Chain A
Amino acid sequence: MSIYKLSFKNLKRRKLRSALTMLGIIIGVGTLVLLIGAGTGMQSYIKEQTETMMGDVSIYNSSGGGYMGSGDSYLDQETISKIKNMSQLYDFKEEVQFTTDMDKTPIYVVGMSDWSQVKFNGTSGVVVDQSLVDNFGYKIGSNITIKDQDFTVTGITQQSFGMGMGFVYLDIDRALPLNDNKVSSITASARGDPETAKNDVENQIPDTMAMTQSDFTKQIDDMMNGIMLFIGAIASIGLLVGVISIVNIMLVNVTERTREIGVLKAIGFTNREVLGSILMEAGLLGFIGALIGLVLAAILLQLGIILFGPQLGMEDVSLAYMLPTWLILAVVGGATVLSVLAGLYPAWRASRLNVVEALRYD
């Protein structure tokens, strides 16, 4: 029977109080893991998708905003042929994105050559998203009209990025004429260093901007890190409140157990052992709370994948993406360390109690 086992027993003795104290940690850790986990999962998923789908270099019109559906800045046929004539590049894939009206409703048209980017039922060619199915009753075989051209729907996708805007995916060859044969971007594989190829394109072909895979991943990282720092800071407030409640409850525990601490010292436990047992108790509250919070967050994340995965095209994402080891260790370790720190002042007070006075305490 060591004094440290006593720490467990003390937590068990006051189950409700321990549980309520842990609740702060559980909510704090749970929120933190949930938000950061979702962010991390999305980040590594996007990065992986980028790496598998993208060529080495993507080229845009330099006046455009970049790679995310860059409005009306396109590469014209002349530029396209210059790009295709570059010996450093091969395996070209064109993509075009534009907005137009269909049935007097604005839609977003994506012309693509690499259909692996979209998950859909049916066959490739003309794929509409679920919102168009829901709003207009389209199904495979329906006829749709885009810019006076008739198409027959060949597939339906659950994926939607459109914030309420309908999406139509077309084969690049059929989409290009609708946009005066201008493309939004060309991706290509590079012979040699993609960085060199990128610079060559930008230097040799006017009005172009090129990005390599690592430019993309960096951009994604910068964006996601900013977001995660922000949500992490907010979720940490919850954890902080939990830690403060540990300080509070440990002070109450120590005061209530004044006589017991006096007895422990009277029967020969050192100040350091008393200090240690109270730090242990505080640390356990944090550790167990963090574990419970972690498990709850994992369950919620898994539920999130099941419920929202299909819309985001992320239904095959695994939980391991969202809960990398560093996150688990950092959160559980961090919560435990913070809780031990929270126990320092109460523990120090307990260890400094005068034995004779403590034994008289009622």
Chain B
Amino acid sequence: MTDILNIKEAWKTYKMGSEEINALQGVNFNVEKGGFLAVMGPSGSGKSTLLHLAGILDLPTKGEVSIGGENVSKLSGKKQAHLRRTQIGFVFQRFNLLNQLTALENVMLPMMKPDKEKAREILDRVGLKGKYDRLPTQLSGGEEQRVAIARALANDPLLILADEPTGELDTTNSKMIMELLGDLNQEGMTIIIVTHDPMAAEFAQKTVQMRDGKIYE
């Protein structure tokens, strides 16, 4: 199996005044194609930082992050953005849809070639048939998160990264979202979630724990 994501000896160090904080301390981590991985751990354990590195929202201070075999630190900012846009789908805790756009427009936003038909199909796929023209404010939290997942799928990415995808949802909706992610994984999508929620983690094939910037399997 090929590794979609490969993180080698990654360190992330922040300076807080005169103090240095090591959010990641030599993390080794890889995800194979078709994997579904849950990263758990207390606040401040470094799990969000790990996800940010995986999504090229941030770069390691030391070490290497490769996506689809390419070392992202060596890419220009423009190529990093292109990789994010085409190969990575982000799902956030707070949905982060654009409120001025309809569900359909939110899905079309990142598309390299705007394709209404495809955007509709993706919305159908996540169970939002007929709600194409709703604005985010006219949708429930669960529906908003499904639009966010549809947006993440818009460019047929290699990898979906979800940061606490159930963090703002009730139990029923949380379960529905995790079932949707589980189904997408069944269809071959590689998924990494960061979560506090043991119920959410149960849907993953594998769970790793993080503490103090290190991974414990």
Whether A and B are associated in the same complex: the answer reads yes
Quick one: given A269-B85, A356-B57, are A1 and B111 in contact (CB under 8 Å)? yes
Does A265 lie within 8 Å of B81, measured CB to CB?
A: yes
Q: A230-274 vs B: 1/0 string, CB under 8 Å? A: 000000000000000000000000000001100101111111100
Interface: B108 (CB within 8 A): yes
By size class, the interface of chain B is: 20 to 34
Q: B54-96 vs A: 1/0 string, CB under 8 Å? A: 0101100000000000000000011001111110101010001
- Of B29-37, B97-105, B173-181, B192-200, the segment with at least 4 beta carbons within 8 Å of chain A is B97-105
Chain A residues with CB under 8 Å of B108's CB are: 1
| Prevailing SS type, chain A contact patch | helix
Interface: B214 (CB within 8 A): no
Chain A residues with CB under 8 Å of B55's CB are: 266
CA–CA, A27 to B99, complex, Å? 31
Interface: B26 (CB within 8 A): no
- Of A5-13, A78-86, A148-156, the segment with at least 4 beta carbons within 8 Å of chain B is A5-13
How distant is B61 from chain A, measured CB to nearest CB, in Å? 14
CA–CA, A267 to B101, complex, Å? 15
Interface: B127 (CB within 8 A): no
Does A263 lie within 8 Å of B98, measured CB to CB?
A: yes
Chain A residues with CB under 8 Å of B92's CB are: 263, 266, 359
Interface: A328 (CB within 8 A): no
Does B78 lie within 8 Å of A266, measured CB to CB?
A: no
Does A263 lie within 8 Å of B78, measured CB to CB?
A: no
Chain A residues with CB under 8 Å of B84's CB are: 266-268
Chain A residues with CB under 8 Å of B155's CB are: 268
Interface: B114 (CB within 8 A): yes
Chain B residues with CB under 8 Å of A355's CB are: 52, 57-58
Does B98 lie within 8 Å of A6, measured CB to CB?
A: yes
Chain B residues with CB under 8 Å of A1's CB are: 101, 105, 108-109, 111, 114
How distant is A211 from chain B, measured CB to nearest CB, in Å? 64
Q: A279-316 vs B: 1/0 string, CB under 8 Å? A: 00000000000000000000000000000000000000
Interface: B167 (CB within 8 A): no
Interface: B110 (CB within 8 A): yes
Does A3 lie within 8 Å of B109, measured CB to CB?
A: yes
Chain A residues with CB under 8 Å of B57's CB are: 265-266, 355-356, 359
Cβ contact of B100, chosen from A3, A9, A271, cutoff 8 A:
A9
How distant is A351 from chain B, measured CB to nearest CB, in Å? 10
Which A residues form the contact surface with B (CB < 8 A)? 1-3, 6, 9-10, 12-13, 259-260, 263, 265-272, 355-356, 359
Which B residues form the contact surface with A (CB < 8 A)? 52, 55, 57-58, 77-78, 81-86, 88, 90, 92, 96, 98-101, 105, 108-111, 114, 151, 155
Given A6-B100, A271-B78, 18 more A-B residue pairs with CB atoms under 8 Å apart are: A1-B108, A1-B109, A6-B98, A6-B101, A13-B100, A263-B98, A266-B96, A267-B109, A268-B83, A268-B86, A268-B88, A269-B110, A270-B77, A270-B81, A271-B77, A356-B57, A359-B92, A359-B96
